[in-house]
Homo-oligomer: A and B are copies of this chain.
Amino acid sequence: MSPRIELYYWPTIQGRGEFVRLALEEAGAHYVDVARTKGGMAAMMRFLEGREPGARPLAPPFVKVGRLVVSQTANILGYLAPRLGLVAEAEAQRVEACQIQLTIADLVAEVHDTHHPIASSLYYEDQKKEARRRAAILVAERLPRYLGWLEDVLERNVRGNGWLVGRTCSYVDLSAFQVLAGLRYAFPNATARLERRIPRLVALHDAVAARPRIAVYLASGRRLPFNEQGIFRHYPELDARPAQRRAVKER
């Protein structure tokens, strides 16, 4: 039997931890979401403060498998996915999956910075003006670029049965699902407009949501709701309608 996987992540948000949770759920893995258990937050802090052996993570999420501590979302997934059957054995496919995951991570960081363009340590209210400027450009330029690229990856994978890499569902498909779900929550107007241009990605989202274990997970209490402490936050003032969007300086 494979060893139990300990996941460490903030207990009240989906955040970056959700990409790992989705992989563990899809695989039916034997795991514990430690910080959501009694005493789990203190356990997580011991790692972050360098009071546990093994590689010290700078930030969650991280996992512990046996004695190995693995941090950074894409690295965690690159480590776990072959063990969970969520990526092909072939190196070319693992490398392609990793580059897609890292590109999704770049998008996630940009989404985070729409509500925190100056500093994570300042309140949203203290950077609201800058947030409006940054969000307008995310919606007008960055989302079309990233989501259009994912759509193109799907189109190029002609024998991929609708998946991003290879012919079966891999961890990056779960991550792409999560990104579209998050964008629908955070920027419903902008995302609805964009979805007309990304039919393959919308179909992938639906295919992931319909997978038996994912469907059970999404309906369970283990799936935290999106909220305004996470990465994908719904601030109506950042989800401009078309008329407002036109005011964005074009270059």
Contact = CB atoms under 8 A, between A and B. Distances in A.
A122 interface: yes
Interface stretch (A22-30, A66-74, A179-187, A195-203): A66-74
Contacts of A106: 109
A95 interface: yes
A130 interface: yes
Contacts of A74: 74, 102
A57 interface: yes
A137 B119 contact: yes
A95 B118 contact: no
Number of copies: 2
A121 to B, nearest CB: 6
Contact of A75 (B99, B113, B146): B99
A247 to B, nearest CB: 15
A237 interface: no
A50 B126 CA distance: 41
A230 interface: no
A115 to B, nearest CB: 13
Contacts of A146: 58
A134 B149 contact: no
A231 to B, nearest CB: 14
Most buried by B among A55, A92, A99: A99
A56 interface: yes
B56 A68 contact: no
Interface in A89-127: 91-92, 95-96, 98-99, 102-103, 106, 109, 113, 117-119, 121-122, 126
Top 10 nearest A-B pairs (CB, nearest first) are A72-B102, A119-B137, A72-B99, A75-B98, A55-B96, A71-B99, A58-B149, A75-B99, A118-B133, A118-B134
Interface of A: 50, 55-58, 68, 70-72, 74-75, 78-79, 91-92, 95-96, 98-99, 102-103, 106, 109, 113, 117-119, 121-122, 126, 130, 133-134, 137, 141, 145-146, 149, 152-153, 156, 249, 251
